[in-house]
Structure 1
């Protein structure tokens, strides 16, 4: 039986109502468009490619990479990726694993980050084969755009049913690899998948709006 699943990537400009699109784009870093990966039955994930990621409050016009609706500073913290390691630089009251920090802190897999008194995030780096990491909201706050998680993309991202996947899809039978080649992104599948209604396999270029 062929795999039946959908992975859809798109910029917010391509798929959201005009008023919301303008709001999202005004909050993106350096005026760049945001890209979101949508997976049927799993959720939506903001794709962030930078090695330096600014986290802050979701205020129109504020140039942050990860915007949070909640009680935190406009510039709350920066995540810096060096090789396969991530350092968190706090700009306000910050705790990592319930310990207050005031200088750059190396993050371990499953680290809990608290920004201010209420905003809590979990940092995970599920695969030793990839430097890509993920941020999930564990408090009652939310990201803006309203997504289920943030993927801090390095050169590859594993989507599939196994524990080491960056995006866990328990109903899938095999993995889908999202990887960068030069300045372009591709999916790689070892089984036949449907892309825009056509069967494809192997290396598949990623385009906005693809299904």
Structure 2
């Protein structure tokens, strides 16, 4: 059942399958047996790496966060020589790409929080994800925004949150673009170059 030569390692197959199914169908709707069957991974391998389904869910969330964080941070850092506004808007360009991907189903962290509002490990993974974007925006704004930087970063994160919700709930294909326009206006109001 485990692996054929040339296929990804069992844990990677397990995580990729869990990621695909949890995001597309919901975490509670997908059972461990289905993940094992579709990933072609033995139950002993699963439990050697993840004590519970919730441990697998937490790892899925960390993996999702890492992927998005890397993509957004690379886009922002690629514009390191440009203005803070251009760097912030680079993040919204990536958000637009993410929201346009086939199978987009909203924020995986909001979805997980709704399904597991009290599980400490899952809530920790969500909190970890919720910390990186304000930190990124604050770092970009710090040299030019002074004391207003953290509040401005928080406002930009709320624009992102609204864009995610609009893209999913309203099927608004342009929600990230609308959020970017609003971000540009907000940054201009604070005289951020």
Q: Does TM, scored on the shorter chain, surpass 0.5? A: no
TM bin, normalised by shorter chain, reads under 0.3
Q: Name the structure with the higher strand share.
A: 1
Larger radius of gyration: 2
Using CA pairs below 8 Å that are at least 6 residues apart, which structure has the higher relative contact order? Answer: 2
Q: Name the structure with the higher helix share.
A: 2
TM-score under structure 2 normalisation? 0.26
